[in-house]
Amino acid sequence: MKNVDDLIESAAELADRGLSKGEIADELNVSRETASWLVERSGAATQAQNRSATGGPQDIHVDWSAVGRDSKRMGAIAEAMADLLAKHGEDVDLTVGIEKAGGPIATLVARELETDLSTYTPSKHQWEEGDIEELGGTFSRNFAGIRDRECYVVDDTITSGTTMRETIQAIRSEGGEPLACVVLADKQGLDELEGVPVYSLLQVISVGKEE
């Protein structure tokens, strides 16, 4: 995707397929507010109207599809992410991937670290409007359980930090202890969340002049 018009078109296609705004945010690697704005703009009469629209949210779109479409590249990225986590010791035997995009990455990271695999579906996948705190996420029963274990947390992108924070809290509610988190790209420049170290291959920082 090269510009905002492409994002608006993609948001419209995803909305037509029945995805919630939270899922659209996940698919496009943008915040929930940005996803709402894109879906609303997709109903504009012309692309010219879209381009002239003002008052949009401040966000950064991260397109890592060149990596995601190729298993060899994904494997290389996962090796680098696993290397960032490895400093926390050899006793960790569980890697938790945040669905959707974090699941495949976590699978490869878990293989590198020789751990079991768990996946968590965050509440934003159900989100349309209103307070996301009213919703709840779930761990898949098709993968390893938390069972009071130490673990790593893997996702593709941190936009606001809400999803990663929710996952950390959900792990702790199951009696587990997340020792570190890792992502491909971090838009917030976080060093830690909820007392858990956060690592990223890329930190994406918006530099602009306030008006």
From first to last of the 211 residues of the chain, give the pLDDT tens digit: 557 788 788 888 888 887 887 788 778 778 777 878 888 887 643 343 444 445 566 778 788 999 999 999 999 999 999 999 988 877 899 999 999 899 999 999 999 999 999 999 998 756 556 555 655 789 999 999 998 899 999 999 998 899 999 999 999 999 999 999 999 999 888 999 999 999 999 988 766 554 4
Integer angstrom CA distances of residue 162 from 52, 83, 198: 30, 25, 13
Surface-to-core class of residue 52, CB atoms within 10 Å of its CB (0-12 exposed, 13-18 middle, 19+ buried):
exposed
Tokens of 34: 């940005």
Domains within the chain, CATH numbers bracketed: 4-52 (1.10.10), 65-203 (3.40.50.2020)
Tokens of 73: 């590249």
For residue 207, what pLDDT is reported? 64
Residue 5's CB is within 10 A of a number of other CB atoms, namely: 14
For residue 41, what pLDDT is reported? 80
For residue 185, how many C-alpha atoms fall within 13 Å in the half-sphere facing its CB?
16
Beta strands at 192-193 and 196-203: parallel, antiparallel or unpaired:
antiparallel
Q: What is the pTM of this model?
A: 0.75
Contacts of 131 (CB under 8 A, 6+ apart): none
For residue 102, what pLDDT is reported? 94
How many Å separate Cα 202 from the centre of its chain?
Answer: 14
**Greatest Cα pair distance in the chain:** 57
**75 close to 148: Cβ distance less than 8 angstroms:** no
Surface-to-core class of residue 184, CB atoms within 10 Å of its CB (0-12 exposed, 13-18 middle, 19+ buried):
buried
> Of 102, 137, 101, 97, nearest to 116 (Cα)?
97
For residue 61, what pLDDT is reported? 79
Say which residue the tokens 């698919």 belong to. 27
**140 close to 117: Cβ distance less than 8 angstroms:** no
